[in-house]
Amino acid sequence: MLLSELKPGEYGIVKKIGGSGAIHRRLLSMGLLPGAIVRVVRISPLGDPIEYEIRGFFISLRKQEATNVEVDKIVPLSLVPGNSEVRVIFIDGGVGFVQNMGAMGIAVGKILKVIKPCCPMQVQTDRGIFTVGRGMAYRVFVR
C-alpha cells in the first residue's frame, strides 16, 4: 500500500521509494529508505499535509509526495491484543538488542503468540513463555 493510505497511529515499513528527481532524492536523504519504519502522527486540520515520525524525528509530507512511498502496514508488538498470533517483521535496535530478543525466540520471521497484552506483556515463542517490557515491545514490529 501507499504511505498516504496509512491512518494516524498506524505504522508502516518502507518497501520502495518511487518518484524521480528531487522528490525521490529528498525522501531518501530524510532516511525514508527500504526497511525504515514510519509512523503516521497526525493529519493537518485541512486534510493535507500529513505528519510522520521516522527514525525518531518528525516530518511533514504532502499527500501527493507520500504517494511516492510504498509501505507494508505493520504493528508494534506493544499494540497487539491478547490471544493473537503474529509474525515478527522487524526489530528496531542495535546488534545487542537484536541478540537479546533472539535469545527469547523473538527474531525476524518467527511466529509469536500473545498471551497477555501490554504492558508488561506475555508472549509464547518457540523457546517458551517470556515477559516483554514496554520499552522492548515498542521496538518489535509484527504483522
Partner 1 sequence: MIVALAGNPNTGKSTIFNALTGMKQHVGNWPGVTVEKKEGEMEINGTRVKVVDLPGTYSLTAYSLEEIITRNFIIEEKPDIIVDIIDASNLERNLYLLTELLELHSKIIVVLNMFDEAQKKYNIDVDLMSKILGLPVVPAVGIRGKGIDELKEKILRGKFNPKKVEYPEDVEKRIEKIEEKIKKLGLEPARWYAIKVIENDVEVVKKIKDKGARDILHLAEHLRHEIEDIYGDDIESVMTSFRYSFAHGLFHEVAEPINVGGVTITDMLDHVITHKIFGIPIFLAIMYLSFQFVFLVAAPFQDAIDLLFNGKDAAGGHIPGLVDLSYNWMLTFMPDWLSSFINHGMLRGLGAVLTFTPVIMLLFLILSFLEDSGYLARVAFLMDSVMKKMGLEGRGIIPLMLGFGCNVPAVMATRTLKDENERKLSIALNPLIPCGARIQVFAFLSSIFFPSNPALVLWSLLILSMVVVFFLGYIYSKTIFRGKSEPFVLELPPYRMPTMKGISIHMWEKSEGFLRKAGTIIVGAAAIIWIFAALPWGVEYGSPDSYIGMFAQWIAPIGTAFGLTPEAIISLIFGFFAKEVVIDVLYVLFGSKDAILASMTWAQAYSFMLFMLFYTPCVATLAAVYNETKSKKFTLFVILEGFFLAALFSFTFYTIFTLLGVGA
The residues of the shown chain that bind partner 1, judged by CB under 8 A, are 16-17, 21-31, 33-35, 41-42, 44-49, 51, 55-62, 65, 78, 93-95, 134-135, 138-139
Nearer to partner 1, 79 or 124 (CB): 79
**Shortest distance, CB of residue 18 to partner 1, whole angstroms?**
9
Nearer to partner 1, 32 or 89 (CB): 32
Nearer to partner 1, 31 or 102 (CB): 31
**Shortest distance, CB of residue 2 to partner 1, whole angstroms?**
16
In three state form, how does the secondary structure of the chain look? CEHHHCCCCCEEEEEEECCCHHHHHHHHHCCCCCCCEEEEEEECCCCCCEEEEECCEEEEECHHHHCCEEEEEEEEHHHCCCCEEEEEEEECCCHHHHHHHHHCCCCCCCEEEEEECCCCEEEEECCEEEEECHHHHCCEEEC
